[in-house]
Structure 1
Amino acid sequence: MPHGPPEVGVGPWVGPWPEGDEYDARLLAEGDRRNVVDRYRYWTMEAIVADLDARRHDFHVAIENWQHDFNIGTIVRSANAFLAAEVHIVGNRRWNRRGAMVTDRYQHLRHHASVADLAAYLRGTGVALLGIDNLPGSAHLETMEVPRRVCFLFGQEGPGLSEAAREACDGTFSIAQFGSTRSINASAAAAIAMHAWIRTHADLTPGSDAWRG
């Protein structure tokens, strides 16, 4: 290959095998080519999920799935990168997983038949539901105080939030845009919103073990 390493990850473990329930014997013997940070090399999937669960953040992400939107997989991948508590799929249960790049294995996913069901679930856990859409009266993400316990709700690419979603939300916010296009890509908007939460609430202390990039 002209650029970068020929293979992702690491090969078989060299030398005496490490001890611990977190290690996967097959990966130690054959190598670990998964898209995971170095800390999790050779770990079982169950051990990785358990470690992530011990430090998940307080924000959730929800996506309406009425038209089999291809953005959902990418949003799930970003939710995993920013360590969301849960990802909620609203509407059709099936969704295109290609964009997730297998990160859905490490991220808790929950299905809701309707936005009303999602709102009821969140109310029971004390989580605010905020939609993202360029609607009249929407707060500016750049200047609003992002709640710690919050669920960001995103609509389909194109139509945005459904009418039912707008009615169920505790509020909506918009992302400042300065060009000619009416809206930005849904998965890009989701990443911006999640990162706004990270900038406000995540532990970014130098030397902290919380951020393992």
Structure 2
Amino acid sequence: MDDTPHPAHELSTNGVGPWPGDWPDDPRYDPELLRHGDTRNVIDRYRYWSMEAIVADLDQHRHPFHVAIENWQHDMNIGSIVRSANAFTADTVHIIGRRRWNKRGAMVTDRYQHVTHHDDVTGFVGWAREAGLPVIAIDNVPGSVPIETFALPRECVLLFGQEGPGLSAAALDAADAVVEITQFGSTRSINASAAAAIAMHAWVTQHVPFPPR
């Protein structure tokens, strides 16, 4: 028997070993994972499932919001934003500008999250208009509205800029609304990936029903 670890494995402290006993008769399970164990950072529901099966299952209940990120400076935060988009099951992540981005922060979640590319803001906005999706820019610029008081559309694109300079003038001009995350300290801005996670969670609190405790 070949004991070589499965090449799709990711390091995790919550992995499981080879499947004990008879293997399940279910096409979603990956024979290599059943044989060698599953060290990926996935929830228990997806243990031993193939990557394709996980993506197919996620596609059945992705949320109808998208995430877009301008990528002019090879921002290190993009990977972390992709990871958060996966956690909140965003429909798709759109990279605007440079096609290449640092995937380390994604922690392999880009394998399960749909990611697409647009050459520039004009191309991205054209896609959003054709898809009928309003673009909601997240930036603390004059005239922005507190996200805590803003009714986020159920179907929309949350647009984020680069760490430091924020969104480009073209992106702000093209946005249907500009909202900011209210801050109470001395720093002018918060980390871009943290802001993205907050904005996605704000969408969740407005549109995902939770049963009462």
Q: Using structure 2 for the length normalisation, give the TM-score.
A: 0.92
1:3 aligned residue: none
Measure, in 1, the Cα distance between the counterparts of 2:93 and 2:209. 21
Deviates more, 1:129-138 or 1:74-83: 129-138
Asked if 1:105 corresponds to 2:101, the answer is no
1:41 aligned residue: 47
Aligned residue among 106, 114, 125 for 1:119: 125
Give the length in aligned residue pairs: 202
Measure, in 1, the Cα distance between the counterparts of 2:21 and 2:92. 39
Q: Which one-letter code corresponds to 1:95 in the other structure?
A: W
Measure, in 2, the Cα distance between the counterparts of 1:44 and 1:116. 37
2:140 aligned residue: 134
Q: Shift in Å at residue 7 of structure 1?
A: 3.9
1:86 aligned residue: 92
Aligned residue among 16, 21, 24 for 2:27: 21
Q: Which one-letter code corresponds to 2:42 in the other structure?
A: V
Q: Shift in Å at residue 202 of structure 1?
A: 1.6
2:70 aligned residue: 64
Measure, in 1, the Cα distance between the counterparts of 2:38 and 2:48. 6
> Percent identity between the aligned chains?
64
Aligned residue among 170, 176, 191 for 1:185: 191
Deviates more, 1:113-122 or 1:35-44: 113-122
Counterparts of 1:161-200 in structure 2, within 5 Å, are: 161-200=167-206
Q: Using structure 1 for the length normalisation, give the TM-score.
A: 0.92
Measure, in 2, the Cα distance between the counterparts of 1:67 and 1:118. 18
Asked if 1:202 corresponds to 2:205, the answer is no
**Structure 1 segments of 4 or more deviating over 4 A?**
none
Q: Shift in Å at residue 8 of structure 1?
A: 2.6
| 1:122-143 Cα shifts (integer Å, max 9, x gaps) | 1111111011111111111001
Aligned residue among 48, 59, 71 for 1:53: 59
Q: Shift in Å at residue 203 of structure 1?
A: 3.6
Q: Shift in Å at residue 168 of structure 1?
A: 1.1
Structure 2 SS opposite 1:142:
helix
Measure, in 2, the Cα distance between the counterparts of 1:168 and 1:54. 31
Q: Shift in Å at residue 206 of structure 1?
A: 6.3
Measure, in 1, the Cα distance between the counterparts of 2:183 and 2:47. 40
Counterparts of 1:6-17 in structure 2, within 5 Å, are: 7-17=13-23
Measure, in 1, the Cα distance between the counterparts of 2:212 and 2:43. 19
Q: Which runs of 5+ in 2 are unaligned?
A: 1-11
Please provide the CA RMSD for this pair: 1.3
Q: Which one-letter code corresponds to 1:59 in the other structure?
A: F
Q: Shift in Å at residue 117 of structure 1?
A: 0.8
Structure 2 SS opposite 1:50:
helix
Q: Which one-letter code corresponds to 1:160 in the other structure?
A: G
Measure, in 2, the Cα distance between the counterparts of 1:52 and 1:173. 29
2:164 aligned residue: 158
